[in-house]
């Protein structure tokens, strides 16, 4: 079993490659739920849905979230009532949110509903939300506001300066069923090139998950989301300074610290390999920009190779 800590699009691209290299039914992704929100009474789980839509081949090709061939009839009708359209929900996408919300109201846990959704999209990979409990990434801005992650990123377009980030509800949250087992019993644990602060740290903030990662006998190998000192996509460059981390491949490795056995950086960061290796983390450089699935598959193969090279008692 190959267990991946996953955020949104970076993780989706990586998982598309990994599922070319190993059988999808051997892959478990533990997915961030800190971005989740309720709009119009509907529960929306952007990272779970982005991964599902990517792997099912139905993601919107330009946006890279939401559905391809999407229409917005419902959003237009909502605008009629003056509902501010800052978070767009397409008609096809709404089907997923309606099903999820209905099942959650019936008392079915998010992890079970997620399995129903992935099966309905024909996926064999296992996606597990980090927790079934309500947790929420909050962005504290330099001007003292406390925003939901989506208010910061979508409504305010990531413009406010970030003072700190917290996962509200984390202290009393529990890992979803099988999350700890997926880490402890894995052959390898891979950390996708997702946002370290609002995707991976929020998974690790759920009590018991970081501990399982430290305890697992499996090698833990991560991929840098920072290439040449710049973020590949998203907002990691705006958030890393808020946790005192440098915006570089070495900075993110240092942020994960002793969780890592191996770290994969892009060829453009080959100069950082020695510095990272000096900290005791085995480091290699390869192509990490997953514009096509062949690159993603080669990257996944390299990660598994590194995992087997670093396997053994820690
Ligand atoms: N991102 C946007 O920039 N604008 C949107 O209106 C928007 C709507 C949306 C609806 C469903 C969904 O699953 C994702 C959506 N996203 C939207 C993407 C999302 O905000 C983020 O990119 C992720 O949360 C970060 O991983």
What's the full length of the chain, in residues?
A: 314
Residues 154 and 31 in one domain: no
**Whole-number average pLDDT of the chain:** 95
Expressed in angstroms and rounded, the spacing between residue 92 Cα and the centre of ligand 1 is 14
| Residue of 29, 42, 65, 67 to mutate, ligand 1, most atoms within 8 A of C-beta | 65
Predicted local confidence at residue 97, as pLDDT: 98
Per-residue pLDDT of the chain (314 residues; tens, 9 = 90+): 999 999 999 999 999 999 999 999 999 999 999 999 999 999 999 999 999 999 999 999 999 999 999 999 999 999 999 998 899 999 999 999 999 999 999 999 999 999 999 999 999 999 999 999 999 999 999 999 999 999 999 999 999 999 999 999 999 999 999 999 999 999 999 999 999 999 999 999 999 999 999 999 999 999 999 998 878 877 788 889 989 999 999 999 999 999 999 999 999 999 999 999 999 999 999 999 999 999 999 999 999 999 999 987 55
Q: Given the CA of residue 9, which atom of ligand 1 is nearest to it?
A: 26
| Residue of 32, 154, 235 to mutate, ligand 1, most atoms within 8 A of C-beta | 154
Other beta carbons within 10 Å of 13: 25
Residues 17 and 116 in one domain: yes
Expressed in angstroms and rounded, the spacing between residue 46 Cα and the centre of ligand 1 is 6
Contact 135, 168 (CB under 8 A): yes
Expressed in angstroms and rounded, the spacing between residue 218 Cα and the centre of ligand 1 is 33
Predicted local confidence at residue 238, as pLDDT: 82
Predicted local confidence at residue 84, as pLDDT: 81
Predicted local confidence at residue 314, as pLDDT: 56
84-102: pLDDT as tens digits: 889 999 999 999 999 999 9
Residues 122 and 150 in one domain: no
Residues 142 and 216 in one domain: no
pTM of this prediction exceeds 0.95:
yes
Domain that holds residue 163: 137-171
Q: Please name the residues in contact with 264: beta carbons below 8 A apart, sequence gap of 6 or more.
A: 221, 222, 223, 224, 283, 284, 285, 286, 288, 299, 302, 303, 306
Expressed in angstroms and rounded, the spacing between residue 118 Cα and the centre of ligand 1 is 19
Look up tokens 């910061």; give the residue: 152
Residues 178 and 156 in one domain: no
CA 68 to CA 211: how far, in whole Å?
Answer: 39
Task: Give nearest CA residue, ligand 1 atom 2.
Answer: 154
Predicted local confidence at residue 17, as pLDDT: 98
Expressed in angstroms and rounded, the spacing between residue 119 Cα and the centre of ligand 1 is 22
Residues 165 and 285 in one domain: no
Predicted local confidence at residue 168, as pLDDT: 97
Look up tokens 């991929």; give the residue: 223
Of 114, 145, 171, which residue sits at a domain end?
171
Q: Please name the residues in contact with 250: beta carbons below 8 A apart, sequence gap of 6 or more.
A: 269, 272, 275, 276
Residues 151 and 129 in one domain: no
Residues 295 and 147 in one domain: no
Predicted local confidence at residue 313, as pLDDT: 56
Expressed in angstroms and rounded, the spacing between residue 258 Cα and the centre of ligand 1 is 32
Give 41's DSSP letter: T
Residues 68 and 211 in one domain: yes
Q: What CATH number did the domain enclosing 238 receive?
A: 3.40.50.10680
Residues 44 and 85 in one domain: yes
What is the number of structural domains in the chain? Answer: 2
SS3 content of the chain, % helix, strand, coil (to 5): 45, 20, 35
User: What residues line ligand 1, using a CB cutoff of 6 Å?
Assistant: 7-8, 35, 44, 46-47, 49-50, 65-66, 87-89, 93, 150, 153-154
């Amino acid at each position: 079993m190959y267990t991946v800590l996953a955020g949104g699009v970076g993780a989706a691209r990586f998982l598309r490659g990994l599922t070319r290299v190993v059988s999808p039914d051997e892959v478990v992704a533990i997915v961030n739920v800190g971005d989740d929100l309720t709009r119009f009474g509907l529960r929306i789980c952007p990272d779970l849905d982005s991964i599902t839509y990517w792997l099912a081949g139905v993601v919107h090709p330009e946006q890279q979230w939401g559905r391809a061939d999407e229409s917005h009839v419902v959003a237009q009708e909502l605008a009629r009532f003056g509902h501010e359209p800052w978070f767009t929900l397409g008609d096809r996408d709404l089907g997923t949110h309606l099903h999820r919300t209905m099942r959650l109201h019936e008392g079915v846990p998010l992890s079970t509903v997620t399995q129903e959704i992935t099966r309905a999209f024909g996926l064999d990979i296992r996606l597990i939300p980090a927790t079934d409990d309500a947790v929420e990434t909050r962005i504290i801005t330099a001007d003292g506001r406390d925003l939901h992650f989506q208010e910061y990123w979508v409504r305010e377009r990531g413009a406010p300066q970030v003072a700190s980030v917290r996962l509200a509800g984390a202290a009393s949250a529990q890992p979803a069923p099988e999350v700890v087992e997926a880490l402890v019993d894995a052959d390898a644990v891979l950390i996708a090139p997702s946002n370290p602060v609002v995707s991976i740290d929020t998974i690790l903030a759920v009590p018991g998950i970081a501990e399982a990662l430290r305890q697992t006998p499996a090698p833990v190998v991560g991929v840098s989301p920072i290439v040449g000192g710049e973020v590949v996509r998203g907002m990691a460059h705006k958030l890393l300074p808020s946790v005192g981390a440098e915006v570089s491949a070495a900075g993110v490795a240092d942020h994960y610290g002793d969780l890592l056995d191996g770290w994969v950086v892009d060829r453009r960061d080959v100069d950082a390999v020695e510095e990272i290796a000096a900290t005791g983390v085995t480091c290699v450089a390869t192509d990490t920009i997953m514009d096509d699935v062949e690159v993603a598959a080669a990257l996944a193969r390299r990660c598994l190779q590194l995992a087997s090279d670093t396997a053994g008692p820690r």
